[in-house]
């Protein structure tokens, strides 16, 4: 009964792994900086291994893929949490940064995860959680390259659920709005402290909802819930008006 985590240093991923410790005895924690995972490994017990995976460096893929593949069993949960907004503001004018954001947030996730997903399909059971973002719901000036990658990731996760349905593998697409993690702090800084609580979730709250979604075989999970309505309104704004906003 294994859990494989891509991007295990994410607080959302770590909280989800901790919540899954009841009922799972094998954890493969893949992270760009696995040395940061000693606390999580201790919490998860003897069956937890931390292995380096940098989604911008394909040389790290083979060893991480081998370890993850070896852990796949009938009850595997594959949690895809890695994501990056590094140098987001420079991305519209810097092709290298733009390409890197697409690679980390979409292209190399698909490249890395496909062999693992093939194995889960062969076995015919298990679950996959893909953490995307509300940024993928509408292109906007402040984050459209990250958003384009996340839009791709959302469509990939939704399509994967459809594709894997006859094979007994369930896929949950997670669409977070604001969650209080280093990524949110990097994006909006201390503004996060001034936002109403119902707009900003906690990693532990996200973990509880993810585990419930796994149990209930929920297809799509918005977190915090209010973001589903927020994005519905944002999607409805006519493009001619939207281009005049600073969103
Ligand atoms: N927090 C929010 O408000 C929010 C909103 C919408 C969506 N999300 C999504 O939620 C997921 C979890 O993010 P978080 O909020 O927990 O933020 P986070 O703390 O920044 O976590 C992001 C994770 O991605 C990893 N990562 C970044 N670049 C990587 C690379 N090149 N190779 C491998 N791993 C890499 C990070 O590893 P390092 O520790 O090495 O950097 C970290 O484990 C992400 O997919 C993010 O896009 C978050």
Q: Where are the domains of the chain?
A: 2-242
Q: Does domain 2-242 have CATH number 3.40.50.720?
A: yes
What is residue 145's DSSP assignment?
Answer: H
Please identify, by atom number, the ligand 1 atom nearest to the C-alpha of residue 150. Answer: 47
Please identify, by atom number, the ligand 1 atom nearest to the C-alpha of residue 176. Answer: 6
- Rounded CA-CA distance 228/137 in Å is 10
- Rounded CA-CA distance 124/122 in Å is 5
- Rounded CA-CA distance 156/99 in Å is 18
Angle at 192 between CA 230 and CA 109, to 5 degrees: 70
How far, in Å, are 16, 177, 212, 227 from residue 85 at the CA level?
A: 21, 14, 28, 20
What is residue 91's DSSP assignment?
Answer: G
118-149 confidence digits (pLDDT tens): 999 999 999 999 999 999 999 999 999 999 99
Burial of 232 (0-12, 13-18, 19+ CB in 10 A): exposed
Instruction: Enter the pTM of the model.
Output: 0.98
- Which of 11, 83, 107, 153 for a ligand 1 pocket mutation test, highest count of atoms within 8 Å of Cβ? 83
12-67 confidence digits (pLDDT tens): 999 999 999 999 999 999 999 999 999 999 999 999 999 999 999 999 999 999 99
β partners of residue 175? 222
Q: How many H-runs (helices) and E-runs (strands) does the chain carry? A: 11, 9
């Amino acid at each position: 009964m294994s859990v494989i985590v891509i991007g295990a240093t994410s607080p959302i991923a770590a909280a989800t792994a901790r919540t899954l410790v009841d009922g799972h005895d094998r954890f493969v924690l893949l992270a760009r900086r696995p040395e940061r995972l000693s606390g999580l490994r201790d919490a998860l017990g003897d069956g937890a291994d931390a292995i380096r995976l940098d989604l911008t460096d394909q040389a790290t893929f083979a060893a991480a893929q081998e370890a993850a593949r070896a852990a796949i069993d009938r009850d595997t949960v594959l949690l895809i949490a890695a994501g990056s907004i590094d140098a987001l503001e420079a991305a519209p004018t810097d092709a290298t940064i733009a390409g890197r954001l697409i690679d980390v947030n979409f292209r190399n996730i698909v490249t890395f995860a496909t062999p693992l997903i093939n194995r889960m399909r062969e076995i015919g059971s298990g679950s996959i959680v893909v953490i995307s973002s509300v940024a993928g719901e509408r292109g906007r000036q402040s984050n459209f390259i990250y958003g384009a990658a996340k839009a791709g990731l959302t469509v990939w996760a939704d399509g994967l659920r459809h594709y894997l349905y006859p094979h007994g593998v369930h896929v949950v697409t997670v669409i977070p709005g604001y969650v209080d993690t280093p990524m949110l702090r990097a994006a909006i800084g201390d503004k996060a402290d001034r936002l109403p609580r119902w707009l900003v979730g906690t990693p532990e709250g996200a973990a509880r909802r993810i585990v419930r979604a796994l149990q209930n075989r929920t297809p799509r999970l918005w977190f915090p819930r209010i973001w589903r309505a927020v994005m519905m309104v944002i999607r409805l704004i006519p493009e001619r008006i939207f281009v005049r906003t600073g969103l």
